[in-house]
Amino acid sequence: MIKKIPYSRQTISKDDISSVSKVLNSTFISRGPINEEFENRIRNYVKSKFCVTTNSATSSLFIACKALNLKKGDIVWTSANSFASSANCAVLCGAKIDFIDINLENYNISIEKLEQKLKLASKKGKLPKIIIPVHYAGFPCDMEKIFKLKKKYKFKIIEDASHAIGSSYKNFKVGSSKHSDLTVFSFQAVKVITTGEGGSITTNNKNFYEKIKLLRQHGITKDKKNFKIKKNSFYPWYYEQIDLSFNFILPDINAALGLSQLRKLNQNIKKREKLVKYYRQKLSKSKIKLLDFPKHIKSSHHLLPAMYNFKSLKDKANFFRFMSKNNIFLQVLYIPIYKHPFYKKMKFDEKNFVNTETFYKNAFSLPMHLQITKKDIDIICSKINNWIQ
Ligand SMILES: Cc1ncc(COP(=O)(O)O)c(C=O)c1O
């Protein structure tokens, strides 16, 4: 049988299965001690004071916005090159969304364009309340520069680090929230580590942490000090709903998978680094451009974005068809958010996103996961070279 090579895939080993089985055989399959242990391990790994897990990065982004008190009429900016969740979280809170163009060195938001946009917004009195930088593919944004702008223009920062657990920036692990208010990870099936579906929020701010914990579970508290009707704390069964939210809890079954995946994270990133190095070697003479990684950053290598000067989107689609006929499945990450019909109604001007447009025309994600072998890379690169010539 011919091997199919997907752009991404989870890797589940025996220790993952045994970790999940233990929870299945225990008293608590949800709301038990394993989820708390997972939270503690994440916060120790990234060196942040607090961590709250949730059932997806999407719900994490949503409650992160709520915890920062995002309301109707407020403004949020995020990267034009991201998954819809990075913008949906703001729109769901009633805020106005706008996008920042990317740079073509690492495909994260362009700091120059962000600065220009802030200057103009400041003049018009329309500054964003929150900016959501996205660490695309695992490559961290230039957080020191964004943090300086935060101080000047007084916005809050939620890092969308869905791709970036294990990445670091100037010796700070992404998730340390050293240059932000909150950081969100995704543990969806094909992410760097997985819980099936899942996410987390890390922060160093106790007030945000407490608000996020409340919002993870209906806005309900069991903590006496938060009760509004103090006299009722006499009743042993008593709890209170003091805010409005949904159930965003990550079950212990999933947290057990995350715990065992987290143990292997560093070692797995090393494997990904080797794959990137080999791809680079094999494509060094081709017209495909891969990312350069400066010394001050370390990527999780969740994705491996590649650029080629396609004639058009049709040309790129033909390349995809050729590769899939050869059992190699590439991906486009992402269709710029403003191109989706839901966002098109808001009438964004594509001229403001010149680099995002170039990226969308030329970029594709090469297969990158732990089941890729050097032999697979040989096949992938030889097919690419066949098509290009
Ligand atoms: C940049 C980014 N943000 C948010 C999400 C949403 O993550 P989840 O599927 O865990 O909700 C994704 C998922 O792919 C993503 O890539």
Contact assessment for residue 89 and residue 63, using Cβ atoms and an 8 Å cutoff: no
Candidate from 85, 109, 197 with most ligand 1 atoms within 8 A of CB, to mutate? 85
Using one digit for the tens of pLDDT, what is the confidence trace for 83-138? 999 999 999 999 999 999 999 999 999 999 999 999 999 999 999 999 999 999 99
Candidate from 134, 163, 186 with most ligand 1 atoms within 8 A of CB, to mutate? 186
Contact assessment for residue 331 and residue 365, using Cβ atoms and an 8 Å cutoff: yes
Residues in Cβ contact with 316 at an 8 Å cutoff, skipping those fewer than 6 apart: 310, 332, 361, 362, 364
Contact assessment for residue 166 and residue 228, using Cβ atoms and an 8 Å cutoff: no
Structure tokens at 365: 């994600």
- Kindly list the distances between the CA atom of residue 123 and the CA atoms of 127, 150, 199, in Å, as whole numbers in the listed order: 9, 16, 37
Using one digit for the tens of pLDDT, what is the confidence trace for 201-249? 999 999 999 999 999 999 999 999 999 999 999 999 999 999 999 999 9
Q: What is the predicted pLDDT for the residue at 2? A: 75
Work out the end-to-end distance of the chain between its first and last CA atoms, rounded to an integer number of angstroms.
Answer: 28
Nearest residue by C-alpha to atom 16 in ligand 1: 83
Contact assessment for residue 44 and residue 266, using Cβ atoms and an 8 Å cutoff: no
Q: How far is the CA of 123 from the centre of ligand 1 (A)?
A: 33
Q: In this structure, are strands 240-241 and 220-221 parallel, antiparallel, or unpaired?
A: antiparallel
**What is d(CA 52, CA 42) in angstroms, rounded to the nearest whole number?**
9
370 exposed, middle or buried (CB, 10 Å; 0-12, 13-18, 19+)? middle
Cβ of residue 88 lying under 6 Å from some atom of ligand 1: no
Q: What is the predicted pLDDT for the residue at 388? A: 87
Cβ of residue 57 lying under 6 Å from some atom of ligand 1: yes
Candidate from 79, 83, 159 with most ligand 1 atoms within 8 A of CB, to mutate? 83
**What is d(CA 51, CA 66) in angstroms, rounded to the nearest whole number?**
16
> CA 250, 251, 252, 255 torsion: positive or negative?
negative
**What is d(CA 92, CA 18) in angstroms, rounded to the nearest whole number?**
38
Q: What is the predicted pLDDT for the residue at 299? A: 98
- Residue of 306, 286, 284 whose CA lies nearest to 389: 286
- What is this structure's pTM? 0.98
SS3 79: strand
Cβ of residue 60 lying under 6 Å from some atom of ligand 1: no
- Residue of 7, 1, 4, 3 whose CA lies nearest to 369: 7
Q: What is the predicted pLDDT for the residue at 77? A: 98
Q: How far is the CA of 31 from the centre of ligand 1 (A)?
A: 23
- Residue of 106, 80, 39, 20 whose CA lies nearest to 334: 80
Burial pattern 132-146, b for ≥16 Cβ within 10 A else e, equals: bbbbbbbbbbbbeeb
Ligand 1: nearest atom to the Cα of 136: 1
> CA 240, 246, 247, 249 torsion: positive or negative?
negative
Cβ of residue 134 lying under 6 Å from some atom of ligand 1: yes
CA dihedral 204, 102, 57, 317 (to 10 degrees): -160
DSSP element (H, E) containing 278: helix 265-283
- The domains found in the chain, sorted by start residue, are 14-263 (3.40.640.10), 266-388 (3.90.1150.10)
Ranges of residues in the chain whose predicted pLDDT is under 50: none
Q: What is the predicted pLDDT for the residue at 1? A: 67
